[in-house]
Structure 1
Amino acid sequence: MTRIELEMLIKRAFHGVTLDGGHTLVDMNEMSNWGKRASKEEIESTSRVEFGANWTVLPVETLHHFFPTLAHADAKAMRYYLPAFMVSLLTHPDPWTHSLITVLSALCPESSDPEDYHIRRYALFDDKQRSACALYLSCLPDFVDLDRGSKRTVDQARSRYWDQHLPSEKV
């Protein structure tokens, strides 16, 4: 699978997903800053794009600015923002960016227990979306030069949850 094919697969799988009342980047930024409100400029710059119905228009610069916030995403926000972060990493494959850490952290549950915090945040994903995430993790090492720790995180994420969602021809 090529990088472009994987990007298109993610976009098709998450097509039409809206934030639907989930946590916004500004909300999650406040949570990650222990209640400190975002600046007026941050709120204005993100509000114009993030409340729309199309996650694909979120600027990479905005995602990079708000990279730590995904840790505070609820299930609706995870389904909306995760594909944007995943695609941004494919289109800007710098292995040392915080986006890589953000994506891998969001995709790596602590355990395979269905009550795991991360696994509960995937609850709204449908089968196509889970499959897209599984393929993403399977293909990521082909597109991003991962260090040993990142490779280990990918392996853990796959074995704890995502490999069960790979299409049968990829297993």
Structure 2
Amino acid sequence: MNKNQDSLLYPCPCCGYLVLFEPPPGTYLTCPICFWEDTKDLCNAALRTAQRSFLECGACDPRWNHQVRRPTIEDQRITDWVPLDVLAERDRPLLIAQITQAFEGVSREDGVTLHEARVIDDWGGEEERAAARGLDTDTHWQEVPPQWIEQLWDAYSLLDSKGWRYYLPAYMVHALRCSGSTSAGDSVIYSCLLPEEPELREHGLSRFSVLTLEQSRAVCQFLRFNAAYGEADEAAARRALEAYWGEFCP
């Protein structure tokens, strides 16, 4: 078999050049052009970092500059190769618009607020909870201050169903706008995981059921975005999609 024919070669996930003799991922072959090792468990966050390095210095990691070679005229690259960073920036505004439209008009009603959730976590009483609720004066999720999302990221898991639905778009949009500097995306993803324990599973399904079909689709796309681009916990995002959310955006 003539392995030099482009039709018999597969693209390196990092640089896009047709240099692999087997289809990725999981070949454990090393690209001679960028020195990316094609492992089985592909981490898209690491791949994005490697692509940035390749575009800047010609290797997936500056440490391997002496191990790589520059592409020759014989080296062919797949015609539709685009770095993950470019794809993420293409999809980001579209996803923000989808989330904003899906959750337009959603109110907190009498649901648990962010500051109240922190008090609940600290085993505070009714008086403390009431005082904490008074701090959350926003009436639309777009009004939730970004600093509260940053400071109270851990309180998100303690919200009731109404509070979870209300703050969900605020956390998702903040995660998309502040990629790389916030844990809001992780908070959303972990809240979308479906527990295996029967009682906890029923509680999770009950919480998820408060969303409309359009809202569930927006959540699904947010999880797909993170699974594809690794801006939050991509492994957890994939588990959430497989367990429940994937059916909303097949």
- Asked if TM exceeds 0.5, the reply is yes
Q: Deviations over 1:78-105 (max 9, x none)?
A: 110011101100000126x332331111
Pairwise CA distance, 1:43: 6.1
Pairwise CA distance, 1:127: 0.3
Q: Is structure 2 residue 106 aligned with structure 1 residue 22? A: no
Partner of 1:74: 160
Partner of 1:106: 191
Q: Which is higher, the Rg of structure 1 or of structure 2?
A: 2
Partner of 2:209: 123
- The CA RMSD over aligned residues, in Å, is 2.4
Task: Give unmatched runs, 5+ long, in structure 2.
Answer: 1-89
Contact 1:71 1:106 survives alignment (8 Å): yes
Q: Is structure 2 residue 189 aligned with structure 1 residue 89? A: no
Contact 1:67 1:98 survives alignment (8 Å): yes
Partner of 2:137: 48
Contact 2:226 2:234 survives alignment (8 Å): no
SS at match of 1:2: helix
Q: TM-score, normalised by structure 1?
A: 0.81
Partner of 2:222: 136
Contact 1:93 1:144 survives alignment (8 Å): no
Instruction: Indicate the structure whose relative CO is greater, using CA pairs within 8 Å and at least 6 residues apart.
Output: 1
Partner of 1:32: 121
SS at match of 1:47: coil
Partner of 2:248: 165
Contact 1:78 1:122 survives alignment (8 Å): no
Pairwise CA distance, 1:142: 4.6
Q: TM-score, normalised by structure 2?
A: 0.57
CA distance, structure 1, for counterparts of residue 203 and residue 123 of structure 2: 20
Calculate percent identity across the aligned residue pairs.
22
Pairwise CA distance, 1:134: 0.4
Contact 1:111 1:160 survives alignment (8 Å): no
Aligned residue-pair number? 157
Q: Is structure 2 residue 237 aligned with structure 1 residue 154? A: yes
